[in-house]
Amino acid sequence: MSQRPLRTVASVVLRGCLLTAAVVAAGGCGIPAFFGLVLRNAEETGDHLEEAEYTNMTEQSFGVIIAADRSIQADHPSLVQYLTQRVTAELMENTDATGVVPADRVLGYQYNNPSWSAREYIEIADEFGVDRLVVIDLQEFRLHDPGNSYLWDGQAAASVVVLERDSITPNDFAFRKFLQVGFPDTNGLGPAQLREEVVRTELAIRLSNRISWLFYDKEVPNSLPY
């Protein structure tokens, strides 16, 4: 906040305090408390910069591939497709990468090679011809606690790793990060308040955001609940 708006607000508050005899009689105009409130409000409504945690994507080509347990895929059949497409698009748009393996090509490769997860990741990077392979191990994606379908308690967790094909030790991951998000943010909500698709979609968006944000700087609202 610049000095000019601060001076303007201070003058208005000071005039208000001088005109309010009851407040003055009570012990002052409360300017420090007022400015504390203003600053707290700014913190809640403003943004802050979150810097990328992995920064070696510049002038590199990349691909994004997701591994998920069969039970997750059975419960959420379109989830891997959605996350692959969204994360790939976000990284292509917001990083300085020079090339990308289209999400549909990655998904087609996985479909046609059911045992792909048993291969070394360096082999997959060689298969796609990319400099960086972003591997997302989707470890959890559920909408409620097991055995309690009456209340939503969505949780998603994933381990994100990056393989650098040009590294002297390419089989050793150059980056690793565990992420976990939840939705909804309020307890006690069930299907009567939120449809299942709303919970699933919001949880997937939150997870894909957190994955993508690892790779580029961004302004994030201070009030963001995840």
Residue position matching structure tokens 């591939």: 65
For every one of its 226 residues, what pLDDT tens digit does the chain have, with 9 covering 90 and above? 333 333 333 343 334 433 333 333 444 455 556 556 555 665 667 999 999 999 999 999 999 999 999 999 999 999 999 999 999 999 999 999 999 999 999 999 999 999 999 999 999 999 999 999 999 999 999 999 988 989 999 999 999 999 999 999 988 999 999 999 999 999 999 999 999 999 999 999 999 999 999 999 999 999 999 9
Strand-pair partners of 225:
none
Burial class (CB in 10 A: 0-12, 13-18, 19+), 81: middle
pTM: 0.81
- The rounded Cα 19 to chain-centroid distance in angstroms is 49
- The rounded Cα 139 to chain-centroid distance in angstroms is 16
